[in-house]
Homo-oligomer: A and B are copies of this chain.
Amino acid sequence: MAGIIEPRTLSGFMELLPQDQVVFEKIKNQLEKIYLQYGFYPLDTPILEDSRILLAKAGGETEKQIYRFTKGDTDLTMRFDLTVPLAKYVAKNYSDLTFPFRRYQIGKVYRGERAQRGRFREFYQADIDIIGDGKLSIINDAEIPSIIYSIFTGIGIDEFIIHINNRKVLNGLFSLLNIKDYSADIMRTIDKIEKIGRENVKAEILDMGVSEDAIDKILETITFKGSKEDILNYLGQFTGKDETFDTGLEELTSVVNNIKGFGVPDEYVMIDLAIARGLDYYTGTVYETFITGHPEYGSVCSGGRYDNLAEYYTKKSLPGVGISIGLTRLFHVLSDNGFLNRKHENPIDVLVIPVSDQVENALTVATAFRAAGINTAVYTETAKLKKKLTYANKLAIPFSVFINEESAENVELKNMESGDQVTISVDEAISQILAAKAELGKEKFVEMKK
């Protein structure tokens, strides 16, 4: 042997300790559960694809950040998002799919960005999309916020606001102010308003050659404050002048009205005319989600409506609406701020401890526990009793069960937190452990401090 290689993990690649991984998995499972409840199909696509497929659209910035290489005569790229693979998938399997096609995908994506704290090169995205064939009802745009609401309240993030806008409203506004040619640039600038402030946004747009009057009207509009009704009423002043604007306002109104029907409390949703989602990709409704009191985390769930998912792979018109959660980053933020509920960090319900070296009874009891759906570890190493208990304590296993050589019928059940110890039957032990497990199941995975 030549010697020891220092074991390290690449920077920008999240690799969790076991107790953190448990919480991560529970959050990931919760997302899947909600996606399934909303009628989405799971999907899994390769991490490696032909570069021609993944880079059909990509511009300069994407090219720089990707992991791309050749093997044999194949030019390969590691996927940098889940949207491009979805576009390929839907175009490829068009005739086998039933539309609207609703799919979720939770998977790793790769971006070779400069590594820095909180930025990852390998990270999970959790995406859902609803794809129509030729058309897709605006009701779907109203369903998305209810999914976001269920996801975040489901994992324990209770205070957040979903910001909604419609790109057609902005585009229409630019059009009726005769500054349509600057739309894309203005939107990119508007997107930065939280970061750089109103005055700097104004200066940047002035530099483009847009008149001060037009800028003021835009800034007045996008920073107009009020209830959803107030904002919709305010926007009413522009109707009848531009078709795109009118469509946008109609869509926005429909989305806002239908969100209630999906059971989302009013205070979780706001119209925010200042969010534009820089990407050209979006064509209608757009979403961003901010945790209340924590604008510094950025949007934790974003997305929107697009007219054409797969234009690079098919001539079919495939409009859709979707959102994406950057799960690795979200977990990092929650963990880093001490917001994870530590009660969830252990996956084992009970440790079965044979008090002597005879393990047969312990195995019988463990088998009964597992059959009852209890996650059971058996301590089968030769060790003093104290060491066995230390194992349970270190792993924060809630119960230990001591098994002697005489009986596999009665056991000593020890609650590791309270220290209480009782002699009971295996069936009674099962009941107590399952009851505690059910209690834990009610605990959310995240506890935001007030």
Contact = CB atoms under 8 A, between A and B. Distances in A.
A39 B377 contact: yes
Interface in A142-170: 143, 146, 150
Contact of A108 (B38, B47, B101): B47
A103 interface: yes
Contact of A15 (B8, B9, B38, B89): B89
Interface string A362-379: 011011001001111110
A42 to B, nearest CB: 5
Nearest to A257: B360
Contact of A24 (B44, B50, B53, B87): B44
B136 A348 contact: no
How many copies of this chain?
2
A44 B70 CA distance: 26
A18 B36 contact: no
A209 interface: no
A43 B24 contact: no
A50 B10 contact: yes
Contact of A98 (B45, B69, B360, B394): B394
Question: Which of A7, A13, A16, A146 has the most CB atoms of chain B within a 10 A radius of its CB?
Answer: A7
A9 B391 contact: no
B377 A102 contact: yes
Nearest to A39: B377
A70 B67 CA distance: 9
A307 to B, nearest CB: 14
A315 interface: yes
Interface string A7-51: 111100111111001101100000000001111111111111110
A395 interface: yes
Given A10-B50, A381-B132, A150 B370 contact: yes
Interface string A336-377: 000000000001100100000001100110110010011111
A18 to B, nearest CB: 4
A135 to B, nearest CB: 8
Interface of A: 1, 4-10, 13-18, 21-22, 24-25, 36-50, 52-53, 56, 67, 69-72, 74, 76, 78, 87-89, 91-93, 96-98, 100-103, 108, 110, 112, 122, 132, 135-137, 139-140, 143, 146, 150, 258, 261-263, 310-315, 347-348, 351, 359-360, 363-364, 366-367, 370, 373-378, 380-382, 391, 394-395
Given A9-B49, A261-B360, 18 more contacts: A1-B312, A4-B313, A5-B53, A5-B312, A6-B313, A7-B87, A7-B89, A18-B101, A18-B103, A37-B376, A38-B370, A40-B347, A41-B347, A48-B122, A102-B377, A139-B359, A261-B359, A262-B363
19 contacts: A1-B311, A5-B313, A9-B92, A10-B76, A13-B46, A14-B46, A15-B89, A21-B42, A21-B44, A37-B376, A39-B347, A47-B122, A48-B110, A71-B112, A98-B395, A100-B381, A136-B381, A140-B380, A258-B363
